[in-house]
Structures are given as C-alpha cells and as structure tokens.
Structure 1
Amino acid sequence: MALGIAAVLTGCTATYRTAEAERAFPPIGKFVTVDGGARVHYIQAGDGPDVVLIHGAGGNLRDFKFDLFDRLTDHYRVTAFDRPGLGYTDRYPGIADGPFATAGESPRQQATMLREAALALGVHDPVVVGHSFGGIVAYAWAVMGLDEDSPVNASAMVSFAGVAMPWPGELGPYYQINGSAFGGAVTIPLISAFVPTSKVEDVIEGTFAPQAAPDGYAEYIGAPLALRPETFRANVRQVNTLRPHAVELSQRYPELTLPIEILHGTADTTVPIDIHSEKVISLVASAHLTRMSGVGHMPHHVDPEAAIAAIDRAAARAGLR
C-alpha cells in the first residue's frame, strides 16, 4: 500500500509540474510536420544566407533565442530547432519511448528529422551550427551530405564546444542509471516530481563554469521543461547511447571538405577540448579551431561576438558572404 501510494503521489506531482512548466514556458515558435507524422518546433527570422542552430543536451531552442539568434537576423535567415524529444519537438518516429524503453535517437536520426524540417521550410545550403550535443548532430548533418544530393546539405558547419568524438571510459551513473529501464520507470519520475528548483539552477551554473550564467538566463531558458518525464527520458537515453554513434560518425570525418569553424573553451569539463575538437582538426583539413582560454562549456554566451565571427568566417569560406 505504501509503495502504491508513493507511486500515485509521484505520478501526480510529476504531472502537475509538467503542466506548470508548459504553462510557464509555452512554445515560442511554429511547428512543421515531417515524414512519419512527427512535429518539429522551430523559430525562423531574418534575411540572407541560411543559418541553422541546434542546441545541446537537456536544452531547447530558447538557449539560442536568449541572445545569439537575434544578433544574427540582420545578415542571415536564422532557423533554430528543438531537437527530437526535447523542447516541443516530437521524438523520432517509431522509436520506443515508454518508461521501460532505453533507445535514444542517434545523431543521424536527429539530423534526418531536422533536415526534413529544414527542407519543408525552404532552407538551402545552410551554415549548420551546433552546441554541445547539437555539435554531433551538426556533424551528422554534414556527413549525410556526403551521400545525399539535397538542397539542405550543409555548405559550412560551426561547432560551439560540440561533441564530436568517442570518449575514453564510460559515462557516470547519472546517465547509466537514468538511461536504463529501471531509471526510466523509477528514478526519472522521482526526480521529475521532487527535484528542487535550486538544483536546476545549480546545474545551469555548473554548465557555465568557470563563468557565471548571464543575468536572466535561468529564468528564460525554460529548464523545467527538461524535467518533464518524457523529455528527461529522451535526453538521458540519447546521451547514454551516443558513444557507438560517435565511433561510427568519426570514421567519416576525414571525407569532409566543407568549411568547419570550431569555438571551444580550454576550461570545458563537460565536453573536453582535447578529446573532441583537438582530434577533429587532426582529421579534417578544412576544420579551424579557435581555442578560448579559460572558457567553459558555453562559449556562444561568454563571447557572442566570437560566435558571430565564427559563423561569418564559415559563411565567407563557403562563398555565402
């Protein structure tokens, strides 16, 4: 009886917090439907060459809308997407998504959905920009262009502290447990229902460390959306199942010839520069790395002018400017 009551209480509390999160942080963009009936949430504005923005793990398109998006629209047509399963974008069609499932969308599956959405929106020859987990989705987008003749093939790519390569060792227990069937059914509902707001704020500050998050960022980003059980499950499963896909994708990197600009902080402990971006530039002759001394995992917020300059360089190298 005690376990049953606890389960009901947890479920009701998680449902209430989900409703509150969606009331406080509703969709700020529009939706486009892709093959399989999935809806992709996006924002689009501006004129000029196309730039596509892909956010990182646990986030949503509000990360870019907080600052960088509006800085770009004077010179580019900018499209930011919620990645599959996050924000207000549906999961990849057909993927198992129940409490006991463990599947996560691969970078290629995510790129497939976003490329279909971009095609429906008339995007062509975009500069594809990815932050953190969005970085490896951007690399997948670029690799797909090696095999497909499509208007949405990337003309250039930009990585902000992007995941790119397989890492040594294993992920910590947070992802291993929450990405498991047990975690999906037990620990995620508990965290969704009862984790305090202060813990969410601590995670945000940890992501920016050693810098501080900009004023107003935590209030704008909609972090409670990431605590919704379905979103939480999608995020941890994508991360927990990522490494084999990174191994596979990285084998294609030497074939890439498109301009690649990388911004990566030397103090990034979330996606360490030596494991990821330093290795990319040894594999891809067209990749250029800007090392940002003492910067953590959020270079596009720490120095938005450097982020814009990286996009401008990529566009110029691709002949778009």
Structure 2
Amino acid sequence: MLTALILLGVALFGLGATSEHLTAQAEQDFPPTGRLIEAGGIRQHIIERGEGAPLVMIHGAYGFAEDFAISLMPQTQQHYRSIAIDRPGHGYTEQGNPDYAATPDGQARYLHAALNTLGVKKPILLGFSYGGAVALSYALQYPDAVAALVLVSPASHPWRQTAALPFGIADAPLIGPVLKHTIVAPVGAMLKESAVDSVFAPEPVPGAFRKTPVALSLRPADFAATAREVRALDDFLRGQAPHYSGLRLPVVIVVNDADRSVSSFIHGRPLAAAIPGAELVVTNGGGHPLHFSRPAAVLAAIDLAATKAGYQSATRRK
C-alpha cells in the first residue's frame, strides 16, 4: 500500500511538472498580440484593427481572440473597425468572479463594459459556437446597443443533461485541483491533433488553424473556466431560448448541417425559425469552425448583416 502511494505521488509530481512546463511553453509560444484594458473590474485582452462600422467578434470554447485575428481580420479590417476579445478566464483576459463569468449573461456584461471603455456604439456582434450564446444574451440584455448579429455555428438551445466527466469534477474538492494541474495539459497535448481533426471532419484542417493558440486552452485556469461554462450552459440556454422571438434586429446565422460539435438541427435552424426575419445560411461541409473552413460565407454574412443594419461602409464581396 505504501509503495503504491509513493508511486502515485511520484507520478503526480511528474505530471504536475509536465503541466507547468506545457503551460509556460504555451505562453511563450503565444503571447498576447493585442492590448489589455481595465473594464468591468477585470483586465481584458482585445485585438483591434481597421476602421469603419464596429464589428465585435466573440470566440467559442477552446478559442481566443487570436482565432479571429488569423481567420477573418485580414479581410474585415479593410472595411470594419474589427475587434476581438478574449472571453473572461480565457487567453489573457482575467476570470473575474467565476460564478458570474460562468454563464453567457455574465460574460455579455463583461463585454458590454469593455465596449463602453472602447467607446464602441451599436456594433455588429459576431458570435461563434459558445460565443453565439454570449452574443444572443448581449442582444437580449442590451437591445438598443446592438446593430446586428452574425451567429456562426451558434450554441443556442439546450441539448444535453450532463457535462463530460472531466468538466463535471473540475471544481471538486481535492480531485479537481489535481486534475487541472497534472492530467489536463499532458493528456490534452496528446489528444489535441485528433480533437482538432474531429471538429473539421470529414475535411482536412485548414492550414490557418494550425497557427491558433490552442495550447493555451490546456492551461489549468483556462480548463477550469471552460469546465464551469460547459456545466452551466445547458440550464442557461433552457431559460434563454424562449426569449429569442423577442429579438428585433438583423440576424444572419451561418451553419453546416454536418457539424458534429453543435448540431444545426438543434441550434442554428430552430434559432433562425424563432427570430423574426433571421437569415439562415447553410454551408456545404466545413465542420464546426466555419470562420476557418468557410471564411467567404462568414464574410458575406457580415456584409449582409451590416447592410441590413444600415452601415454604408460595408463592402459586399463578390
């Protein structure tokens, strides 16, 4: 028994050291590329490029502001004041109150504070996946402060009863901290390639996606934030979904019916049916992160939403 405990301790120590090394390496490889602002009582990391109508982009789970800097901003910065923000607890934005930031409504309030600090008025909000739930919550809470919504593979409706086991025990006494600081980063590093392949399947992973800072999502704090969000999301969406019919603004929804991560038949399609006047764009393949696999469709959706919102600076791409 004693020998087993000693071996367990040695194994955990080794995993802990590996986790610390991987965390430090990820931060060295992917430092913040934007600037830090104080807003809503926390430090928030934003990337901002270009001028014109304000376009604010909200990332999904395991994502970062940098994703948009790589995928869409090279084009959007030519026509829009393009802003991407690390959500609370992710990338280089502080967590703030963990309970407050664990649901899309709290995250929408942190985002609202950031946009006020930046002097952004009536933005087009683009929300991807979990970020779609945040964008919807923002529009419901601040209906007069949003010009339009572009929702890419959005999570909008409840669809599961329980979170996966690692997320479910991430905050459990004793085992939670051990899990976060020993196992997550090493195991995640081993499984990262296959996980990324699955979200784009059956197509290959776009080359641009290889430049994204996925390794940052395996840091203990990022994993803990994701775990809290995943555990709370289903119940939150159960309460938010009945209010979508009250939205009165231009909404363009881009989905892929072969999306294995967030089914368009549970989320995007019912959402389009619930919101008066919403436009639904169905892409042919591309998996889940359509801003990487189908950027032309997402860029066209942004331009369409901007035009519907009355922004003259939008330039339709042919």
3-state SS, counterpart of residue 102 of structure 2: coil
1:308 aligns with 2:299: yes
1:40-71 CA-to-partner distances (Å, cap 9, x unmatched) read 10110111100000111011112111121111
SS of aligned partner of 2:23: helix
Post-superposition shift, 1:188? 2.8
Deviation, 1:111, is 0.9
Q: List per-residue Cα deviations over 1:235-272 (Å, max 9, x = no partner).
A: 12111211111112112211101110000001001100
TM score, norm. by length of structure 1? 0.90
Q: What is the RMSD computed on CA atoms of the aligned residues? A: 1.9
**Counterpart among 9, 22, 29 of residue 14 in structure 2:** 9
Which string of whole-angstrom CA distances, capped at 9 and with x for unpartnered residues, describes residues 159-205 of structure 1? Answer: 11010111144344343344655663233323334226442121111
Cα distance in structure 2, aligned partners of 1:41 and 1:183: 31
- Which of 245, 253, 277 is matched with 1:262 structurally? 253
On the 8 A contact 1:104/1:239 being kept in 2, the answer is no
Unaligned runs of 5+ in 1: 97-102
Q: Within 2, Cα distance between the matches of 1:193 and 1:257?
A: 43
Asked if 1:229 corresponds to 2:220, the answer is yes
**Pairwise mapping of residues 54-69 of structure 1 onto structure 2 (< 5 A)?**
54-69=58-73
- Output the CA distance in 1 between the equivalents of 2:51 and 2:199: 32
Is the Cα–Cα contact under 8 Å of residues 164 and 246 in structure 1 kept in the other structure? yes
Cα deviation digits, residues 6-58 of structure 1 (max 9, x gap): 3333332222221111011100100111132x111011011110000011101
Which residue does 2:139 correspond to in 1?
142
Distance 2:16 2:78 in 1: 46
State the alpha-carbon separation in 2 of the partners of residues 266 and 122 from structure 1. 37
In structure 2, the partner of 1:20 is: 25
Aligned pairs for 1:272-291 within 5 A: 272-291=263-282
In structure 2, relative to structure 1, the CA distance for the partners of 1:260 and 1:179 (3 Å cut) is farther
In the TM superposition, what whole-angstrom CA distance separates every residue of 1:260-285 from its partner, at most 9, and x where no partner exists? 00000010011000100111122111
Contact 2:48 2:84 in 1 (8 A): yes
Among 164, 176, 186, the alignment partner of 1:184 is: 176
Q: For residues 69-110 of structure 1, what are the alpha-carbon distances to aligned partners after superposition, in whole Å with 9 as ceiling and x for unaligned?
A: 11101110000011111111111x3326xxxxxx86110111
Q: 1:265 to 1:116 in 2, by over 3 A?
A: same
User: Is it true that 1:200 corresponds to 2:200 in the alignment?
Assistant: no
Q: Tell me the distance in 2 between the aligned counterparts of 1:216 and 1:46.
A: 21
Aligned to 1:299: 290
What is the count of residue pairs matched by the alignment? 307
Cα deviation, residue 315, structure 1? 0.7
Partner residue in 2 for 1:79: 83
CA shift at 1:320, angstroms?
Answer: 1.2
Structure 2 Cα separation of the partners of residues 175 and 196 of structure 1: 13
CA distance in 2, matches of 1:20, 1:232: 16
Are 2:234 and 1:243 equivalent residues in the alignment?
A: yes
Equivalences for residues 67-146 of structure 1 within 5 A: 67-91=71-95, 93-95=96-98, 105-146=102-143
> 2:37 corresponds to which residue?
32
* Separation (CA, whole Å) in 1 of partners of 2:47 and 2:77: 12
Say if 1:51 and 1:79, in contact at 8 Å, map to a contact too: yes
> In terms of mean alpha carbon deviation, does 180-189 or 241-250 score higher?
180-189
Identical-pair percentage: 35
Name the residue aligned to 1:50.
Answer: 54
Between structures 1 and 2, the one with greater helix share: 2
- Can you give the 5+ residue segments of structure 2 that lack an aligned partner in the other structure? 1-5, 313-318
For 1:161, give the aligned amino acid: S
Normalising by structure 2, report the TM-score: 0.90
Confirm or deny: 8 A CA contact 2:47 2:66 kept in the other structure: no
CA distance in 2, matches of 1:183, 1:156: 43
